[in-house]
Structure 1
Amino acid sequence: MRRKVRQVGLAVAVLLSGAFPRLGPAAAEIVFKADFETGDFSQFSGKSKNIKPGHIEVDSDVVHSGKYAGRFTIHEDDVFNARQLRVQANGPKVTVKEGSDTFVSFYMYMKEPPKDRDNFYYWEGSPPPRYNNVMTWWVEPKADGTGTSIKYGTGNLGRKGVHWEGDFTVGRWHQLGMHIHWSEDPAKGNAKLWWDGVVVLDKKVQTKGPQSVYFSQPGIHRDPHSKSEDTIYFDDILCATTLEEIEIQKPNTAKSK
C-alpha cells in the first residue's frame, strides 16, 4: 500500500512540474545588432525622412572593428519638419512592460568637436497619437570652450533633468553601455550607464511612460537654428535582454585612431 501511495505521489509531482515550470532568469537574446559589415544600412529598418544623399553613409575610413562603420553628418538642409533636423537610422525597437529590462551598447567617434548640441541617441515610446521621449543622450561644446561634454537626461530631450555629464574626447572611440529598468514610477525605474567600461551612473529615474513599445534612432537630431555641420560615427551596436550579451569593455581599453 505504501509503495502504491509513493507511486501516486511521484506521478502527481511529475504532472505538477510539467504544468508549472520553474521560472528562471530571462533567456539571453540579442534583439538588434548593427556592425555595418554588410557594407550598407540593411541591418536597420530605415532612415529618417528627407536626408540628403551622402549625409548617412557606410564608411571604411574610421572603424572600431571590421571593415566598416556608420557615418552620420548633419547639414542645415536635413529638414525632418519645421522644428527638427535629423540624420538618423532606425535602431533597436523593444516591447517593454513595467519592471522589464533592456541592455544596449555601441561605440561612437567624432573627428572634430561638435559645434552645437547633437542629440545622438534616445528612447521614445509609441504608438501615436502621443509619442513620449523619455530619455536622451547628447554631446555639446562645454560652456567655457575647453572641450566637449556628453550628457544624459530624462524627459523630452532631457528636460526632466540631466543625471550624468562626462568628458567626450574627440579622435577616440568611446563605448556607451546602458541598462534600462523600465518603470513609470521614478522610485522603481533605473538607468545604469557605462562609459568606456566604467559605471558612471546607477540611479532611480522614471524610464517609461504609458506606451508599451520604445524605439531608438542613432545618428544626429537637433533643432533647426544651427547652420553648422557635425559628424558622428557609430559601430558595433548591440541591444539585448542580458548584460553579458552587450559586451561591455574592460576600463581603459577604448581603441583610438
Structure 2
Amino acid sequence: MRALLVSLLAILMPGPTRADVVWRGDFETGNSSQYTRAQQVSADRLQVVQSPVFQGRYALEATVRQGDDPINSSGNRNELVYQGYEKEGSEYYYRWQVLFPRDYPSAKTWQVFTQWHHNGCCGSPPVEFFVYGEELRLTLTNSVTPWKTALVRGQWQDFIFHVKWSSDPSVGFIELWHNGQRVLSRYAYATMYPGDGIYLKLGLYRSDTVQPVGVVYHDGFTQGTRLEDVLPPVSQPTPDAGTPAPDAGTSPEGETPPIVPSSPLPDTGATPPTLEGAPLQVGCSSVGGPLWVMALLGLGGLLHRARRR
C-alpha cells in the first residue's frame, strides 16, 4: 500500500517546468557573450545598445562600411557567429527581430542580415535572409527564393523560422512567419549540404559594391524545439498554422498560393512582448482547488485509514 501511494505521489506532484528553449542570443547579458565569436574590423561595428530595442533592455547595432573585410573574404561584413552544431535531422524554431533604419541604403544587390552557413569555406549558405533593392528575401541553395516581401524601414520586423535540417529534400523543410502572419507554408527542400554542418551568422554582410554606410539592428534571438518556446506568454494568441497570409510574397515560380485569412499576433510595433516562456497552467477541480492538492488530500485520507487498519 505504501509503495502504491509513493508512486501516485510521484505522478501527481508537479515537477519542474519543461524548458525547450535551446539557446538565447537576445543580448540581455548587455554584451555579445551569448555568441561564439565576432567577425568585425573594429569594436564599434558590432555594439550592444539600449535603443532602439524590440524586447528587454538591449539589442545589437551592426554597422558596415565599404571596405570592411575582417576575414579576408568576398564582400564586406561585420557579423556575430553562433556555433550551434545543428545536425542532420534536427528540427528547430528560431525567432528574432530586425530593424532597418529609415536611411538604410537601397542597392540592387545582396545585403545579408541573417544566414545559416555551412561549415565549408566556400559557396552560398544553405539559408540566407537578405535585402535586395527594396525587397526582403529568403533564399536557399541554388538561388531558390520561396519568399520575398517589400522592405519596410523604421519598424521592427519579427521573424519565426521553422526548419528541419537535412540534406535530403524529401526530409528537410522550412516554414516562415513574418510579423505574426504565417507567410510560407511547409516548403520541402534540402536545407543542408551532404555531410556538412550548420551555424548561425547575425549582423550585416553585403556586396562590396555598396558604398553608403549600412546599419541594421537585431534583437530577441531565441531558438527552441517547439513553436511555443519562441512565442510570448500564452496571453497572446499563437500565429495561425493554416494557409499563408495575404502578404505571403511569391513562390519560386512566381505564383501566389491560395489565400485564407490567418490569425495574427497582436501588433508588436508599440509595446513589444517579452520572449519568456509561458507559465505552467495548473488545472483546478470543480471545488476550486489545484488538482494535485486535492489528490494529496485524498491520499492523506488513504494513509490515515491504512494506519488505522
Q: Is 1:73 matched up with 2:63?
A: yes
Q: 1:114 to 1:93 in 2, by over 3 A?
A: farther
Distance 1:35 1:180 in 2: 20
* TM-score of the aligned structures, taking structure 2 as reference length: 0.65
Q: Aligned runs of 1:85-164 on 2, under 5 Å?
A: 85-91=76-82, 93-98=84-89, 100-112=90-102, 113-116=104-107, 117-126=110-119, 128=120, 133-142=125-134, 149-155=135-141, 159-164=142-147
After superposition, give the CA deviation of every residue in 1:191-244 in whole Å (9 maximum; x if it has no partner): 100001111112111211123531011111112222221111011100122221
Distance 2:86 2:25 in 1: 19
Shift of residue 82, structure 1, vs aligned partner: 4.5
* Larger relative contact order, structure 1 or 2 (CA cutoff 8 Å, min sep 6): 1
Shift of residue 92, structure 1, vs aligned partner: 5.5
RMSD: 2.2
Distance 1:212 1:238 in 2: 23
Aligned 8 A contact 1:193 1:199 in 2: yes
Aligned 8 A contact 1:172 1:254 in 2: no
Alignment partner, residue 38 of structure 1:
29
Alignment partner, residue 189 of structure 1:
172
Q: Is 1:209 matched up with 2:223?
A: no
Runs of 4+ in 1 over 6 A off after TM superposition: 129-132
Aligned 8 A contact 1:28 1:241 in 2: no
Q: 1:251 to 1:228 in 2, by over 3 A?
A: same
**Any stretches of 5+ residues in structure 1 without a counterpart?**
1-26, 143-148
After superposition, give the CA deviation of every residue in 1:80-139 in whole Å (9 maximum; x if it has no partner): 3242211111136233123x312101011111233333101111222x466772111112
Distance 1:214 1:239 in 2: 14
Q: Is 1:253 matched up with 2:243?
A: no
**Please, which of 230, 244, 257 is the counterpart of residue 228 of structure 2?**
244
Q: Aligned AA for 1:160? A: S
Structure of greater Rg? 2
Distance 1:71 1:47 in 2: 13
Q: Aligned AA for 1:125? A: H
Shift of residue 33, structure 1, vs aligned partner: 0.5
- Structure having the higher strand fraction is 1
- The number of residues matched between the two structures is 219
Aligned 8 A contact 2:27 2:48 in 1: yes
In percent, how many aligned pairs have the same letter? 21
Alignment partner, residue 11 of structure 1:
none
